[in-house]
Structure 1
C-alpha cells in the first residue's frame, strides 16, 4: 500500500511538472470557479501573488471580461460538449511592445464538479501568425505580379527543358499564330528555320553545360509560313534541367539595319568611333570601301587615318579635330584621301563625347566618299556657266539691232567729218572742232564695244568683290538704251542710296538686262511707256526694283514665272530661261527676286542682304 501511494504521489508530481512546463497557468476549479489547485510557469496573467490564489474565485484573479466566456465554457463542458479555446487581450500586462494576448482552454476532469482551465501567453504566436499572414500576402502579391509580368511582357518569355520542349509560354507567343497546345506538344526545334537548326542545337548543348546565352539569333516559323527573327537571352538551371528564356522579335530591326547598311553602301558612308586614348576604335564595314588602307591592323589607327589623308589637307584636318575636342563644336571637313594624282574626296563629320564628370570620352562621327558628288557639282557648275553664257548671247542677239544702230550713227559722223577735214585744213578753229567730234564719236563706239565685250565674256573669269551698284545699273542701261529708244520706252533711274554689293558684277548686270529686255518687249508700241530702276535702303536689305508702265502679269502665270522654259512671249521670241536664270544667279549671291503684284504696274523686286553691302563706305553686318 505505501508503495502504491508513493508511486501515485510520484505520478501526481510528474503531472504537475508537465502542467507547469506546458502552460503559463493551469487552474483546477470547482463549479463555482473557485480555485482548488494552481500550476504555473508564468504568473504575469494574475492580479495577485500565486500564494494567495487557492480558494479564490477566478473573478478575483483574471480580467472581468474573461469571466463570462469562462463560465460559458464551463457550462458547455457541464453539458458534455467540447469547449472551444478563446483568446483575450490583457491591457493591464502591457509592456513596451504593447498589450499581451492570452489563450484560455477549459477541459473536463474525472470529477464532474471540477474543471481544468489552461491560460497560455500567445502574444508571440499571434505576432508570428500576423507576420506570417503579411508575408503570405506579400508572397501572393509577388506571385501575382510575377504572373502578370510573365503574361503581359512584350518579349516572348518561356520556360523550356533541356529535352527540347517548351514547358510554359506567355501570351506574346500568340504573335506567331500558334496556340499554346500547338507549341507545347512539339519539340521547339521543329519551328526553327532549317538553316538555323545546327547553330540552335549547338547553343542548346552549351546551355546544358551551364553557359548563359546572350543575344543568340535564329528564325522561327509562324503559322502562316513566314519567319520571324528572334534574339534570345537564356539562363539554364542545371539542377532542374530547365531553361529560362526571353526572346525579342527583331525582324523589323534586322530589316532596318540591312536597309541602313545598303543605304550606307549606296551613299558610300561609314560610321566610326575613337575612344579617349585613340587606341581603341570601332568602324563599320563601309569604312573598308572608303579608306581601304586603314584595315588589317588596329594599331595606331588615328596615325594611319592621318597618313591616308592627302598631305595638303592633313594639317588642317588635325587642327580641326583638336579644335572640336577643345570647343565641343562638331567638325565638318572635306579632304582628300590618297597621294599624288590618285585620290578621292571624303566628307568627315565628328563630334566629341563627354562623360557626366566633364572628362573627354572620345569622338564619334561619319565618313562619306563624296568624290562623285563633287564631280557632279563641278559638272553642274560648268553647265550653269554655259547656260548663263548662252543666255547672255541670247540677250546680245536681242540687243544687236540697237547696238548696230548705236555704232552706225557715230561711224556715219566719223565718215562725214573725215571728208570735211580736207576742206577745213587751213581753218584751225573749225578743224579742231571736227577733230573733237571725231574723238567723241570714237569714244562712243569704244564704250559700246567695251560694254558688249564685258557682257559677253564668261562669268567664271570674274571673281566676286565689292562693286558699286550705280555703276552696274549704268552699264546695264547703256546696253539696252538704244533698244528701249527704238521701242518707245523711256528709262528712268531713281537711286536713293549708293552702295557696293559683294557680287560678280557681270552676273548682276545680266539679271538687270534680262529684266529690262522683258519690259521693253512687253511695252513695245505702247504710248507713254516707261521703265524705272529704283535703289532704296530698308532695315535688313537693299531693294533694287525694276518697274514698268505695264498692267502687270496675269495671275494664272504668276506661280510659273520662274520655271525653266516657261514664257509668255510668242513662239520663237524667247527661251523661257531668263527669269529662271535670274533667280539662280541671285540665289547664288544670297539674294532673292519676287514679283510685287500689289500695285497697278509690273514690278520685280531684287532683295540684297545688307550684310553683303557697303553703304557709304561702311559694311553693314
Structure 2
C-alpha cells in the first residue's frame, strides 16, 4: 500500500513535501523539484523556510502556529517562493499538521505553481480597469439594462444626461415608466433589438429627472446568458437635443422667410449645409414644375442641377473671383425641371453663416427661356434675311452652272456612250469610258441637286442601300491624289436595312465629308467609316472619323452655316457642309460634328429607317 501511495504522490503535478517539527524536509516529490529548481537530493535535509523570503517566513510560521498538536487542520495561502536560481515564483501553499501520542509532529505541505494564473489575473485586472476608465470617461450615455426594465449599470455621462446625481436612485427606476416620454417606445426598442440582435440610432425622447425632454439616438444590442437566452440589453445614448432644437429654429426661420419670398416672381431655393432643400418658393414651383412638398426635406439640392453644376456653384460661392467669398454675382447656369428638361437661368446666390459657420445656402433664379427665345427669334430673322439673300445669289449661280455645265456634260455623255457602243466588250478602255460616262451623269445630278437646294424643292426619294452609296463614293475618291496616303478603315454593318432617300444626294454628302477629312489630315492619316443599326431610334447611324487637326471650339457652332469656311480665299465656297446639312434635313435625319483640336473630327449622321425588313450587304 505504501508503494502505491508513493506512486500516486510522484504522479501529482503539485509539489508535496513532508517536514519534521523543525521544518526540515524529510520527503519531496519530483514536482517539488520542478517547482523550486532544486534536485530532490538537494532538497532533502534543507529547511523548508529557506525557500521563502523573510516576510513570507513569518506568514508560514503564523500559519503553523494555528495548528495545535493532534489537530488535523488545513491552512492555505498564496506566497512567493525563491527558486534555486534566485527567481521568485507565485505559489499556492497548503499546510496540514499531525502528531502522535509520542509527541512526534509531522507537517505536510502542498505547493502549486500559480504564476500563469496570477499573470492572467493581472492582465484581466488591467483590462477591467481600462474598460472601467473608458466606460466612465466616454461622453455618451452607456447603460446595461435587464429585459424586465431595470438598469443594471450606467456611466456618469448617462446620469448627467438625464439629471441624476444618485446612481442607486437611477438604477431603481422603471425604465419604460420613469425614463421614456412615451413608454410604448421602450417596447418598440425591445421588439427591434430582439428581432435583429441590434438597433442603430433609434431616435427616441427620454425624460430628465426634472421632467425636461431629451432627444437621443439609441444604439444597442442584446445580452445573452450561457444558454443563449436573452437576459438584457446594453447600449449607448447620444444626446441630439441641441441639434434637434437648431433644426427646429431653422425651420421656424425658414417659415418666416418663406412668407416674405413666396410672392417673388423669381425662383428662390434655400438648402441646409447638408444640401437638403428647406425653402422652395412658388416662383420655383412654376419654374421647375415641382410642388414644394415634393422637394422640401425630400430632394437634395444637386438633384435640381445637371451633374456637377451644383458642385461648381459651391466652388464659386467659396471663391473670391465671383463676387467675394460667400456671394455669387449674377451668372448664367442651368436647372433641371421635374421632367428632366434643362432650364436656362440666371442665378445669384449666397452662403448663410452663423457664428462664422456655414449653415445654409440661398439662391435666386431668373427664368431665361423667354429672353433666349426672343433672342433666337431675332437671330433667326436676321439669319433668314441673310439666307434669303444668299439663296437668291445661289439660285442665280445654280442657273448659270446649269446652263454652262449641262451642255458640255451632255456632249461628254453622248460621245462617251457612242464610243462605248463602238468598242468591243473585251477592250480594256471600255471600262474607263464607262467611268467617264458615270461621272458625267453624277455631275449632272450634282447640278440638279444644287438647283433643288436653291429652289427648296424636295429630291426624288427611293429605297437605297447606305453601304453601297458609301462604297461608290469611296471608289471614286480612293484613287485621287489627296487619298493616296490615307488609310481607309471600313466598319460597315452588312445587316443594315434599306432607307428612303436620294442616293445621288447622300453620296455627294458622304463624299463632301470625306474630302474635308482628307484636307484636314493634309493627305496623311486614317479615315474610319462606320455604319450601324440603332433599333431604339429606328434609325441608321453613319460616322466619318478622321485623325486630322480638329476644329476649334469657336467654329463648331458655325460649321454648317452657308458660306462659312476656314480655307484660304479661292479654295472653298463654304457651301459644302451647308448643302450637306440641308440634304440630311430633307431626309428627316440629323447631322452633328464632334471635334477636338489636335484630336481629329467625327461627323455623325442619323437617317430614319423606313424599310425595316429589307437588307442588302455592301457591294
Q: TM-score, normalised by structure 2?
A: 0.37
Larger of the two Rg values belongs to structure: 1
Q: TM-score, normalised by structure 1?
A: 0.37
